Amino acid sequence: MLPLNFQNVRYLILHCSASYYGNVELITEWHTAPDRNYDTIGYHHVITNGYWNYEAWVSKQPDFNLDGAGFSGRDVMFQGAHCKGHNAESIGICMIGQRQFTRAQFDAFTRTAEIYFDSSDFPLLTGPECVRGHYELLQNGLYSKTCPNIHMDMFRAQLAKSIQQGVSSDNRRTGLSKRLTFT
């Protein structure tokens, strides 16, 4: 894995898991499968939706304590493997889901983004304008993705509003931890 130079990080790239359920361990299994052959999970952070596994989703039994829970994936000391051509300049954040995400997930993303925006370690990450959806970035000269399958201008506008209103100010953290908890 290549080291990540924090001084060059200019994007928080939002992804979706393209699944109705999931967690860091499951995505790590997907990413390290022989057809992908990554060293570990490609995303730096994963924000869950309460459906931890297939059984929970099929039985419609979410764990509400895990809705909006943020977990660290790939160590931020290393470049991600989430957006070809942009891994050296970004942090990858995946929200579990396909097209719909919970309010708790959005709030967790807001708090995660604020950690980076408030950190002097990442001088180019200054606010919502630094957030991109995977589909917004060129790969091999093409826009080839739809992930995270949401309107990113609206997402950034809501993110800016939430930050301005101090939605997560009571939960502000001073650093990154193994599990980002937002209660």
Domain range list for the chain: 6-180
- Average of per-residue pLDDT across 99-119: 95
pLDDT at 181: 34
Is pLDDT at 178 greater than 70 in this prediction? no
3-class SS of residue 137: coil
pLDDT band at 68 (very low <50, low <70, confident <90, very high): very high
Q: Distance of CA 139 to CAs 6, 36, 125, 134, 145, Å?
A: 22, 17, 21, 10, 9
How many other C-beta atoms are found inside a 10 Å radius of the C-beta of residue 88?
A: 13
Asked whether residue 78 carries a pLDDT value surpassing 60, the answer given is yes
Confidence of residue 149 (pLDDT cuts 50, 70, 90): very high
For the domain 6-180, what is the CATH superfamily, name and number? Peptidoglycan recognition protein-like (3.40.80.10)
Cα 27 from Cα 120, distance rounded (Å): 30
What confidence score (pLDDT) does residue 179 get? Answer: 30
Distance CA(107)–CA(85), nearest Å, equals 28
> Is a pLDDT exceeding 50 seen at residue 180?
no
Helices (H) and strands (E) in the chain, counts: 4, 6
Instruction: Please say whether the dihedral angle defined by the alpha carbons of residues 54, 57, 59 and 64, taken in this order, is positive or negative.
Output: positive
Residue 162 has phi, psi (to 5 degrees) of -65, -40
- Hey, is 142 helix, strand or coil? strand
Q: Residue 120 burial (CB < 10 Å; 0-12/13-18/19+)?
A: exposed
pLDDT value at residue 170: 45
Least confident range of 13-27, 31-45, 129-143: 129-143
Cα distance between residue 183 and residue 167, in whole Å: 12
The C-alpha atoms of residue 38 and residue 47 are separated, in whole angstroms, by 20
Q: Supply the pLDDT for residue 172.
A: 40
